[in-house]
Amino acid sequence: MDCTASDDPGLRRVGLWGVCFFDLLGAKYFDLVADAACDPDPGVRADVMSTLGSGFGLGDPSRALAIRIAGTSDAAPEVRRAAV
């Protein structure tokens, strides 16, 4: 959990991956991952888009879809790609 709040975007990505690994269907940590869709690092945001498109998005399907739709308008091309 400490990694998800790190100043290092690489550590945040690892932390979010770990959270998703232990909460495969997004029942417990959905909000933490969904909030990372606003992360300043495009790599983190792209990972979030991919995660919300997986089974993890079942934690809140309508919110996961809304975040991914918003991601299609992100300034970073990797985020847009991941959202699609």
pLDDT tens for each residue of 53-75: 999 999 999 999 999 999 999 99
**Looking at residue 37, what DSSP letter applies?**
G
pLDDT (0 to 100) of residue 24: 85
- Tell me what the mean pLDDT of segment 4-10 comes to: 96
With 0-12 CB in 10 A as exposed, 13-18 as middle and 19+ as buried, what is 42?
Answer: middle
pLDDT tens for each residue of 21-33: 889 889 999 999 9
pLDDT (0 to 100) of residue 21: 87
From CA 55, how far away is CA 32, in angstroms rounded? 16
